[in-house]
Structure 1
Amino acid sequence: MRQLQNELAISTRGQGFTEITGEARRFVEASGMETGQLTLFVQHTSASLLIQENADPDVRRDLNEFFRRLVPEGASWMVHRSEGPDDMPAHIRTALTQVSLTIPIARGELMLGTWQGIYLFEHRDAPHRRRVLLHLIGE
């Protein structure tokens, strides 16, 4: 059994999705591992990771809008605003999604479905530089 790790630095453009499927695929391919699993972990409390449809961009647009409506900025009951009105909503959106994903590897490939892609989901309004750790275990 072997293990490898890598870190991605992802620049976002503000709220929305940044696909990182290609980076994850290249990491697995370069490893030479045929079977195992890849774990991705985002080191932030205002961004998350999702596996979502990668064919129709309307899906990601609608998801982003859903989370904006579900957790709107400026709600009077939110106290934490240290970094602006989008601060606490970003933390809540992260709590409702996930910061870690695990994907099986078979025949040297990510076992994603036909229309699945891996996305960093930025919950802040301003662009950020996010760190995603990749951990591969297998043989």
Structure 2
Amino acid sequence: MKQHQVTLEIVTPGRSLVEFTREVVRECRSSGIDTGLLTLFCRHTSASLLIQENAAPEVKPDILDWLDRIAPENAGYLHDDEGPDDMPAHLKSLLTGASLSVPVAGGTPVLGTWQGIYLAEHRARSHRRQVVLHLMGE
């Protein structure tokens, strides 16, 4: 069994969903692993990972708006060390998750036709986020 691990840096413009499927596919293909399991892990508590629709552009703002309704700013949170978007960002990350598992076949992640891999930036300002990819297989 072989393993391949790399950390991707994803620059975000602030609150957004940043698709990085191409980078993930490129890493899987360059790993030399044909069949296996890919784990993606976000190293942050105010950003998260999603597999979501990547065809209809309306999906992204709808998801972001829904998350804002679920975890609004200025809702009386005790934790606001870094501003009014601090605690809502942690709650949104809690809801959406820090890791994903994706099967790999033919050296490529096995995603559905309209699925893309996204980093969800829950903070208002731009960040440099790290996502660790770990692929195991043969």
After superposition, what is the alpha-carbon deviation per residue over 1:5-60, rounded to whole angstroms, capped at 9, x for unaligned?
00011100011100010110000000121100111000000000000000011011
| TM-score normalised by the chain length of structure 2 | 0.98
- Matched-pair identity in %: 55
Q: Which runs of 5+ in 2 are unaligned?
A: none
Q: Which runs of 4+ in 1 moved over 3 A?
A: none
CA offsets, 1:73-107, max 9 Å, x none? 0012x010000000000000011111000100112
Q: Which amino acid aligns with 1:93?
A: K
The alignment's C-alpha RMSD in Å is 0.6
**CA–CA distance in structure 1, aligned partners of residues 30 and 137 of structure 2:** 13
Which residue matches 2:27? 27
Alpha-carbon distance between aligned partners in 1 of 2:11 and 2:107, rounded to the nearest angstrom:
28
1:125 aligns with 2:124: yes
Distance 1:49 1:119 in 2: 6
Give, in angstroms, the shift of residue 126 of structure 1: 0.5
Task: Show the counterpart of 2:113.
Answer: 114
CA–CA separation in structure 2 for the residues paired with 1:37 and 1:24: 13
Number of matched pairs: 138
Counterpart residue number, 1:16: 16
Using structure 1 for the length normalisation, give the TM-score.
0.98
- Structure 1's unaligned 5+ residue stretches are none
